[in-house]
Structure 1
């Protein structure tokens, strides 16, 4: 009897290797020896083993082994209040948050790895002294520098990154139907859904939690409310269903400045593209260096409007901006505080800019920005545009602004060459048609060079 019971217990214990520690302790404390006489279903609420052995036949297990151990009262596992936990960890360090995440989920959690922020996550995970897993999405269209970066990170930390790839049939169908660069014509969402979102969904189905490098300051317009930990609002974990996956965002409250200070201090690997002006790095056809005065996300999908700068991996954390797409919220256009508010920048009305556009012999040249106050790229260039207005004060060049979202957007697209926010126009002194500023550089010197050239 002792031999049979020991074997059964050993088999049950071995199946707990991939189960979180709190569940392991619970199973051990309430363990009941399996019984051929009907007790085998008594503990089915426990987490099932990943690689369960086939049930033994009655002829192998001695009859004496069917005697059940004394009844033990079942413990009720209270669900974790992750909103409360997020509040408790709001001021915690990145290291403390990651340590907590790894402690709670063990082998059932993994770090989502792609860029600079994620090296910070890996470095902190290493500093905890706990084992950790790392996975990444290989879209098939990454820069060669990114692939070399992945290899360097593996060797530096002595780890193996678990790569997830898009479904070959889906990629083949997309390319055969719409070509290799369809995203330039109809938006990047479809390609990202095939190459990134669906592979991520498959990866997360094998986990109970994941760790991301999201920061609030990456995109103030869409990521400003990211908590440090939450029940994932978009994806499911291995147990399936709403609430089956926990999402950790240890860098939510960190700034880009904090990240780069850490990278320099710890002397960890970085993507060589960062040295070429890239900040936020994605697929090769959809990423370019960030120019002076631009927001870090502006290098992504640069041909699209500011509202589309997300791929869908963090859909649940993105503030729903359908109402602000046209600058409206419940019928009001005052959702965000106005920007470029200085005495040196003239606020033009619809009538004012129509009159300005009709003049064929202006007395003074004008520089005008077409903007939306909710646009993070407009917000990012506010400082340089205000400084430019101060420099041009008294020079004979007027500096103005025209809010071109909401009801004015169609007019601005039709009459004022609005493509995306911000759009900058120069109205020369002796010309009817305005000249569009085509450079992506938004520093004062570049603006001044544009004005002086005209």
Structure 2
């Protein structure tokens, strides 16, 4: 619900706004989610995880505690120069998956992990084993996987002597989604909302504890959307351990490998595979959204089969999705899932933010993000912004959002210092003009420091 701000800040703070179903108290019980206040203590806990290639290798049981690091991002250097991953991708274009995997593990060590979802991703683990280097593996347990997938996870752990580091969705968010829309709402209004809660947000938490990750993406998996996957890249969507744009590197060792060759490799190495493959399943996700494919059908036809082929992505690899030729920011579809939805985030209309700009003596400071819901960088900072709003609730700072794309874009450029999405503005209590947040670091601690120093 859009809010029109009046000259009274009491009227501003008393208005209604959208609901996400997650309060600061209920967040404390979420599955596999650790609050910032606990991070200092938990980051000192280390666990010994036995790898097939290392008798003893120290790893952190959870990546979330390390996500609060505020130091500047470390960059790979070679002969005193910053590593150019675009050039590295070109050098590795003819390299084998084994060579690529070896290079990735060599460069990032314990700060890189393999994203494992079952199916053919076991090939990544086999390549990692063959390098002879220690490696980490994580997986997203959505709570709706097939029994055969869980059995594969167990078989893989036993085969390779590893412990998969599972990430789970936020229990409160799942509860709110199911209570509000039912168990199978995705059949009616699309799978994106469910995937965001069950997959994208847990992935974001996982990646905040890493400097690089390894995926099983291939160009032939979805020619319409994945045809331009590079072997290695600076992740265009998600943030890594050090926070900010460019803080995470993404490796795709199988990018140039065809699916048939992956399967030949799996059979040759005699590794565990998902039993569903023998039943006609090729691309395997959550049970309600996956079915077998017919002979001659493309593998992605078995995923979200009730939707248009161009929508067959869950959001984990949105940075590698190929856009339509000629598409521009202003031509993005209007029907996109809303973001920054929380009881603690106020939704401002154009009139509301204009009134906020006119106030010279505000009873409370206001932090406002100018965003577009389709923007991957806005989506990437969603979790940290909502957590920040929870921390600031009742502490004299209102947190708000203003959708600044479409017909509002020119107004935002001229009046609100919009340069690119997201743009974050602080309206202090006494200063008449808004102060633009200058940093690319959009983690909770960095934003909190900005607010506390200037409000």
Q: In which range does the TM-score fall when normalised by the shorter chain? A: 0.5 to 0.7
Partner of 1:180 in structure 2? Answer: 183
Query: Which residue of 2 is the match for residue 146 of structure 1?
Result: 149
Question: Cα 1:278–1:323, aligned 2, differ >3 Å: closer, same or farther?
Answer: farther
For 1:128 and 1:109, how far apart are their aligned partners in 2?
A: 14
Residue 153 (structure 1) shift: 0.4
Deviations along 1:195-226, whole A, 9 cap, x unmatched? 00000000000000000000000011110010
Q: Which residue of 1 aligns with 2:312?
A: 309
Shift of 1:320: 1.5
User: Is contact 2:118–2:152 with CA below 8 Å preserved after alignment?
Assistant: no
Indicate the residue corresponding to 1:259 in structure 2.
262
> What does residue 283 of structure 2 align with?
280
State the partner residue of 1:92: 95
TM-score (norm 2): 0.55
1:298 to 288, 297, 301: 301
Q: 2:212 aligns with which of 209, 212, 217?
A: 209
Which position in structure 2 is the counterpart of 1:107?
110
Give ranges in structure 2 of 5+ residues lacking alignment.
1-43, 48-69, 333-455
Structure 2 residue 232 is matched with structure 1 residue 237 = no
1:259 and 1:116 map into 2 onto residues whose CA distance is 11
Measure the CA separation in 2 of the matches of 1:145 and 1:211. Answer: 23
Q: Radius of gyration: which is bigger?
A: 1
What's 1:200 paired with?
Answer: 203
Q: Distance in 1 between matches of 2:118 and 2:164?
A: 13
Q: 1:112-152 CA distances to partner (integer Å, 9 max, x unpaired)?
A: 00133311110010000000000000000000000001000
Relative to structure 1, is the Cα distance of residues 193 and 322 closer, same or farther in structure 2, using a 3 angstrom cutoff? farther
Following the alignment from structure 1 to structure 2, what is the Cα–Cα distance between the partners of residues 124 and 76?
29
Q: Which has the higher contact order (CA 8 A, sep 6+)?
A: 2
Rounded to whole Å, the distance in 2 between the matches of 1:217 and 1:90 is 16
Whether the 8 Å contact between 2:141 and 2:169 is mirrored in structure 1 is yes
Partner of 1:124: 127
Counterpart of 2:228 (choices 221, 225, 228) is 225
Q: In structure 1, what is the equivalent of residue 83 of structure 2?
A: 80
Structure 1 runs not aligned, ≥5 long: 1-14, 19-43, 49-74, 330-454
User: Is 1:165 aligned to 2:154, yes or no?
Assistant: no
Give me the whole-angstrom Cα distance separating, in 2, the residues matched to 1:76 and 1:238: 24
* Aligned-residue offset at 1:78: 2.7
1:249 match: 252
Find out whether 1:269 has 2:285 as its counterpart: no
**SS class of match (2:223):** coil
> Relative to structure 1, is the Cα distance of residues 189 and 46 closer, same or farther in structure 2, using a 3 angstrom cutoff?
closer
1:347-426 to structure 2, matched below 5 A, reads none
Taking structure 1 as reference, are residues 190 and 47 closer, same or farther at Cα in structure 2, changes over 3 Å only? closer
Change (3 A) 1:109 1:186: same
Instruction: Give yes or no for contact 2:72–2:242 (8 Å, CA) kept in 1.
Output: no
CA distance in 2, matches of 1:132, 1:95: 13
In structure 2, C-alpha distance between the alignment counterparts of 1:178 and 1:103, rounded to whole Å:
46
SS at match of 2:272: coil
2: distance between equivalents of 1:133 and 1:101?
A: 12
Contact conserved, 2:120 with 2:273, CA < 8 A, in 1? no
What do the CA deviations read for 1:321-361 (whole angstroms, capped 9, x no partner)?
3868xxx99xxxxxxxxxxxxxxxxxxxxxxxxxxxxxxxx
User: Hey, what's the Cα distance between the residues in 1 that align with 2:145 and 2:172?
Assistant: 19
Shift of the 239–298 alpha-carbon distance from structure 1 to 2, 3 Å rule, reads: same
Matched, 1:321 2:324: yes
Query: Runs in 1 of length 4+ with deviation above 4 angstroms?
Result: 44-48
**Structure 2 vs 1, CA of residues 258 and 296 (structure 1 numbering), >3 Å: closer, same or farther?**
same
Residues in 2 aligned to 1:47 and 1:297: alpha-carbon distance in whole angstroms? 36
